[in-house]
């Protein structure tokens, strides 16, 4: 009897799943196919083809895919190779608390698949639950003063390291990374700063005092270590995270994922001081063969001799973790990170770590998330970049390093408290 099993059937999205098929004919060729329907009703699909061993088994932890959406031994390949049925669609989890993504996995006889279409019913199937929040994590809506967001607290009495989670130009409130961080033991504040509730859709300036309020809010919480907060930021959020590390003594550990070392778009303001954005060269925006916009060269000419626009990163007292995808087609993030690190070195600083991933694109997300190499954002067809397999490896490695970095620099040393 053919059986398809997965362990565990229900898990957090950053946890691996062990998938096996048994009861097959020895050396039979089969196809595993996965599908997921997102909260908007959009479908995502993946497939991989395998040959059963002499015992009629396929164990994805050890077997090598011979074709489909990836090749080689990749136990979680069916998850990170999911592709949207509707082009330029990004997989985003909005409701992290109430329901998981459900991934349908089906097993077919490869000989009965013609032109990528199945000609018979699956030999076996199962449904996996992929959660963005662990049992016991609580979500508290934040609407205090100007602050808008959601605070996620791990189960237990605490104390927990506090983290502010910032996304980029998409705006609104994205909670999936904060909820996962809370599931891993961090008191995590998903912070909105534009295009959400009564926040302006397109602010004229970035007011750093808003983010200072967020840091103080988190530090006041009775379940949060009072020694300092961390920031996890990506894209446009990086310029804010970097400024917070420089100007706010409350920030002691900052993760910067694919961003710049200068403000762009709009000025930053902090207590009367104005930091003007670096001008960009619109003529350097390019369109690739697929009609997708690539923005990563837009600061090439204006950055020459533009030291007055760069953040004074050498003034920061905390620690930095730079994470860059070398295949990023939106921001030349490796060049900007290396420039910032060079600035630190010239001032005798060694408070930085750089993780640079060949083949990874702009949207480096939690492990096993599908690569989104392009999507429509604010009516723009943007090329984010990245290659499926190296991008997946980067996400898995970076997620572990982010947690290790934050724990190291946010949890007070026991001996210092004696």
User: At 254, which helix (H) or strand (E)?
Assistant: strand 251-257
Distance, CA of 50 to CA of 70 (rounded, Å): 11
Contact, 32 vs 63, CB < 8 A? Answer: no
pLDDT of the residue at 85: 97
* Band of pLDDT at residue 117, cut at 50, 70 and 90: low
pLDDT of the residue at 111: 81
pLDDT of the residue at 328: 98
Q: Give the chain's domains with CATH numbers.
A: 3-131 (2.60.40.2240), 138-410 (3.40.50.1820)
> Is 95 considered catalytic here?
no
Distance, CA of 328 to CA of 80 (rounded, Å): 18
pLDDT of the residue at 415: 38
Cα 82 versus chain centre, distance: 16
pLDDT of the residue at 359: 98
Q: What pLDDT, in 10s, does the model give residues 186-245?
A: 999 999 999 999 999 999 999 999 999 999 999 999 999 999 999 999 999 999 999 999
- Judged against a pLDDT cut of 80, whether residue 112 lies above it is answered with no
- Judged against a pLDDT cut of 50, whether residue 416 lies above it is answered with no
Q: What pLDDT, in 10s, does the model give residues 134-172?
A: 999 999 999 999 999 999 999 999 899 999 999 998 999
Query: Percentage of the chain with pLDDT > 90?
Result: 92
Distance, CA of 162 to CA of 39 (rounded, Å): 29
Return the minimum-mean-pLDDT range out of 76-80, 87-91, 279-283: 279-283
Q: What pLDDT, in 10s, does the model give residues 271-323?
A: 999 999 999 999 999 999 999 999 999 998 777 778 899 999 999 999 999 99
DSSP 258: S
pLDDT of the residue at 119: 63
The tokens describing 263, both together, are 């403000």
pLDDT of the residue at 115: 60
Q: What pLDDT, in 10s, does the model give residues 347-399?
A: 999 999 999 999 999 999 999 999 999 999 989 999 999 999 999 999 999 99
> Is 362 considered catalytic here?
yes
Distance, CA of 308 to CA of 276 (rounded, Å): 9
> Is 328 considered catalytic here?
yes
H helices then E strands: how many in the chain?
Answer: 6, 27
pLDDT of the residue at 303: 75
Cα 248 versus chain centre, distance: 24
- Judged against a pLDDT cut of 50, whether residue 414 lies above it is answered with no
- Judged against a pLDDT cut of 50, whether residue 418 lies above it is answered with no
Distance, CA of 235 to CA of 333 (rounded, Å): 9
Residue with tokens 């062990």: 18
- Judged against a pLDDT cut of 80, whether residue 52 lies above it is answered with yes
- Judged against a pLDDT cut of 50, whether residue 417 lies above it is answered with no
SS3 content of the chain, % helix, strand, coil (to 5): 20, 35, 45
Catalytic residue (one of 328, 373, 383, 409): 328
Cα 110 versus chain centre, distance: 34
- Would you tell me how many other CB atoms lie within 10 Å of the CB of residue 276? 12
Cα→Cα distances 187→20, 135, 322, Å: 36, 15, 22
pLDDT of the residue at 114: 57
What average pLDDT does the chain have?
95
Catalytic residue (one of 49, 275, 362, 391): 362
pLDDT of the residue at 389: 98
Residue 399 falls in which region: left (phi positive, over 0), alpha (psi -120 to 50) or beta: alpha
Catalytic residue (one of 69, 109, 221, 235): 235
* Band of pLDDT at residue 413, cut at 50, 70 and 90: confident
pLDDT of the residue at 94: 96
């Amino acid at each position: 009897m053919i059986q398809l099993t997965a362990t565990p059937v229900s898990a957090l999205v950053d946890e691996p799943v062990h998938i096996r098929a048994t009861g097959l004919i020895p050396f039979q060729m089969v196809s595993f196919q996965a599908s997921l329907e997102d909260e908007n009703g959009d479908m995502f699909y993946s497939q991989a083809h395998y040959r059963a061993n002499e015992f009629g088994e396929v164990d994805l932890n050890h077997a090598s895919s011979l074709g489909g959406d990836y090749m080689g031994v990749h136990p979680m390949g069916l998850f990170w190779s999911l592709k949207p049925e509707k082009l330029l669609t990004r997989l985003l989890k909005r409701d992290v608390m109430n329901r998981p993504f459900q991934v349908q996995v089906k097993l077919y006889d490869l000989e009965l698949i013609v032109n990528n279409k199945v000609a018979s019913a699956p030999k076996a199937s199962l449904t996996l639950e992929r959660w963005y929040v662990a049992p016991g994590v609580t979500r508290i809506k934040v609407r205090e003063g100007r602050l808008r967001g959601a605070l996620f607290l791990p189960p237990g009495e605490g104390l927990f390291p506090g983290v502010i989670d910032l996304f980029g130009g998409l705006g609104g409130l994205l909670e999936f990374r904060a909820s996962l961080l809370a599931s891993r033991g961090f008191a995590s504040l998903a912070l909105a700063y534009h295009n959400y509730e009564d926040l302006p859709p397109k602010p004229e300036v970035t007011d750093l005092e808003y983010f200072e309020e967020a840091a103080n809010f988190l530090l006041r919480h009775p379940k949060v270590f009072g020694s300092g907060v961390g920031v996890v930021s990506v894209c446009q959020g990086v310029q804010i995270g970097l400024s917070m590390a420089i100007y706010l003594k409350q920030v002691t550990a900052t993760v910067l994922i694919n961003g710049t070392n200068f403000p762009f778009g709009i000025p930053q303001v902090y207590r009367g001081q104005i930091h003007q954005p670096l001008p960009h060269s619109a003529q350097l925006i390019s369109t690739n063969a697929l009609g997708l916009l690539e923005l990563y060269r837009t600061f090439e000419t204006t950055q020459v001799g533009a030291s007055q626009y760069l953040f004074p990163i050498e003034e920061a007292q905390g620690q930095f973790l730079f994470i860059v995808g070398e295949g990023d087609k939106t921001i030349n993030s490796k060049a900007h990170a290396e420039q910032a690190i060079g600035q630190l070195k010239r001032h005798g600083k060694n408070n930085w770590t750089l993780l640079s991933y060949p083949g990874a694109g702009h949207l480096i997300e939690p492990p096993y998330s599908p690569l989104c190499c392009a999507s429509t954002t604010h009516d723009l067809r943007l090329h984010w970049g990245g290659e499926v397999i190296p991008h997946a490896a980067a996400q898995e490695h970076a997620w572990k390093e982010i947690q290790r970095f934050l724990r190291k620099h946010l949890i007070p040393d026991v001996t210092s408290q004696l």
